[in-house]
Amino acid sequence: MKKTSKNRRNFIIQSSMAAGALSLGSSFILACNGKNKPSESNEGKAPAAKKDSLGIALVGLGNYATYQLAPALQKTENCHLAGIVTGTPSKEQVWMSKYDIPKENVYNYENYDEIANNDDIDIIYVVLPNFMHAEYTIRAAKAGKHVICEKPMAISVEECEQMIAACKENNVHLSIGYRLHFDPYNLKVSELGQNEVYGKVKKITGAHSFKLNDPHAWRAKQDLAGGGPLMDIGIYVLQGAIYTMGENPIEVSAKYGEVTRPDIFKDVEQSIDFTLKFPGGATAEATTSYYDTANFLRGEAEKGWWELKPAYAYSGIEGETSEEKLTYPPVNQQTLQMDDFAKCVMNNKKSKVPGEMGLRDMKIITSIYESADKKETVKINW
């Protein structure tokens, strides 16, 4: 039975929970409020004060952490930069000085698990290459820390399931770094599509591509990235189609693009095109590439259309509909994203971008690769 517009409003959380239930059973719902620690006598101890700002430790100090997350944390209200984890000793003093981070809140990958003993750090944000996401999320959960994991959640469905299970077992929250769920332009797209403002959606088109010219980049190595542009930036178009429709796709057809730089793209695809089919008959045609430039998301409905171009940028997103130009005040997506998660932790509420959403997306990505490999349409079983 087709979902009504009203039902679609809560679709993202409901469907991602259902995806998790497929693998983890009915008891998968994430518990919250920190890891249960060994019992201690509380005699003579004052009750712990409730924090009004949670400490975040960034794990991995690459470009995204350096130029997006750390600056965004200077603007947050519910959380703050409290620590770092890095395998590069030369970065330690730079970050300590710039952000006033005490030495005891600086870790490396060898002593990472000791973070369990640090009450200054409540949340760990994993910003590492894709193949490390599962390990460092699971270790963070075992340390009793809530976790934000950068997208893609992991490099396989099985890893996503393990991450969700670890956070459940250790009573911590898990969120995925889907920043566009906090961007007003992309939220507007969700409203236009899911509420059928211009009637039923007929077709979605989108693309996200950039040129990768470094043959040594970890993104070009299958064992490190888990795939090519689909895993990295194509996931934005995939997400855009789903939050436009407010329902999961039921089948996919895909094909790999031509390889013009075999010196770079030996392990992963250079580009891939895929078409998603939704239960109501709408389709989403998407392209993602490491050897092109593109950035847009468009929806066409019975009585109108809308488009974001660029759609997935950190800032400077622009949009219009068949009736008007969309104009919203600029926001810092990462600031809103991290503040929202901190508030979820404080109030014991589930994130709007939970681990189950990352699991859902990995199931779809796996089906896209299967379709391209087999050169046939693949049904997605939920």
Residues taking part in catalysis: 151, 236
Instruction: List C-alpha distances in Å: 144 to 52, 163, 169, 193, 273.
Output: 19, 13, 10, 39, 40
Q: In angstroms, rounded to a whole number, what is the distance separating the alpha carbons of residues 125 and 137?
A: 9
Contacts of 264 (CB under 8 A, 6+ apart): 212, 213, 214, 215, 220, 270, 290
The one-letter amino acid at 335: T
Bridging pattern class, strands 79-85 and 106-107: parallel
How many other β-carbons are positioned within 10 Å of the β-carbon of residue 317? 23
Q: In angstroms, rounded to a whole number, what is the distance separating the alpha carbons of residues 348 and 30?
A: 10
Token couple for 243: 């939050």
Q: What is the DSSP string of 157-176?
A: HHHHHHHHHHHHHTT--EEE
Q: In angstroms, rounded to a whole number, what is the distance separating the alpha carbons of residues 52 and 175?
A: 20
Contacts of 331 (CB under 8 A, 6+ apart): 182, 183, 184
